[in-house]
Amino acid sequence: MSFDILKKLEWRYATKKFDATKKVTPKKITILKEAFNLTATSYGLQPLKLVVISNPKIIKDLVPLSYNQEQVGNASHIFVICIENSIDAKFIKKYFDLVNKTRNTSRDILKSYEDYLIDDFSKKTDEEITIWAAKQAYLTMGNLLTVCAVEEIDACPIEGFQPDQYDSYLNLTAKGLQSVLVMAVGHRSVDDAFSELKKVRRGVDEIVIDLE
């Protein structure tokens, strides 16, 4: 059983060429959206949004904003993982409203933790909050890559893009967001040579320290 997941993780690779004729089904896209939402985040605050692009014209337009990476242009969907620009008292209060509504936990019980978080975040600089939020974005991508592997969806994680240009082209700034990561999603092309390459990894004995 545990080896099945390792087989799936071996199967996945950073896809360099998708088969543009093969679209990922809406059902699978829904699974990925749910997995994004189910990802653990620090304090549970989810300072994130996921933009899912399926429009072929928009996808093509993103290629030059992604250093002309071919896999962006032939992907079925482009996922843009964004962070919220404003993680302030209002944002934190909204989270506790949701806890209250979802679990019926009274505001009195939540108050000390809520006050602590509002105080803690008020002491952080904008840069510190951005770095913190970006870490949560990376976690979601790790989770999505694993879910893609399990669901046999191909994907390429992408840092090689111009966030400022994505933000203005996709109108993200107006939505209070900034792009942090891109994930191209689709099904591998039969002639993507990278699918046949052996994984380059340091080796478990080298990368893991067992302290017994």
- Does residue 181 sit in helix, strand or coil? strand
Of 200, 199, 195, 198, nearest to 71 by C-alpha is 195
Summarize as ranges the residues that interact with ligand FMN (CB under 6 A): 13-14, 69, 156-160, 199
Query: For residues 75 and 92, which CB has a smaller minimum distance to ligand FMN in the complex?
Result: 75
Where do the DSSP E strands lie in the chain?
48-53, 77-84, 154-158, 177-186
Query: For residues 64 and 99, which CB has a smaller minimum distance to ligand FMN in the complex?
Result: 64
Query: For residues 14 and 58, which CB has a smaller minimum distance to ligand FMN in the complex?
Result: 14
Query: For residues 61 and 70, which CB has a smaller minimum distance to ligand FMN in the complex?
Result: 70
DSSP-derived letter for residue 13 is: -
Q: Which residue in the shown chain puts its C-beta closest to ligand FMN?
A: 160
Cβ atoms 145, 132 nearer than 8 A:
no
Query: For residues 117 and 156, which CB has a smaller minimum distance to ligand FMN in the complex?
Result: 156
- Does residue 53 sit in helix, strand or coil? strand
The tokens describing 105, both together, are 């936990």
DSSP-derived letter for residue 64 is: G
Q: What is the C-alpha separation between 140 and 147, in angstroms, rounded?
A: 10
Q: How far is the CB of 118 from ligand FMN (least distance, A)?
A: 31
Q: How far is the CB of 90 from ligand FMN (least distance, A)?
A: 30
Q: How far is the CB of 202 from ligand FMN (least distance, A)?
A: 12
The tokens describing 78, both together, are 């482009």
Please give the full DSSP string across 146-165, using - where no structure is assigned. HHHHHTT-EEEEE--S-HHH
Q: How far is the CB of 92 from ligand FMN (least distance, A)?
A: 28
Of 157, 163, 130, 132, nearest to 144 by C-alpha is 157
Query: For residues 154 and 167, which CB has a smaller minimum distance to ligand FMN in the complex?
Result: 154
Q: How far is the CB of 174 from ligand FMN (least distance, A)?
A: 26
Q: How far is the CB of 131 from ligand FMN (least distance, A)?
A: 15
Residue whose tokens read 């893009």: 161
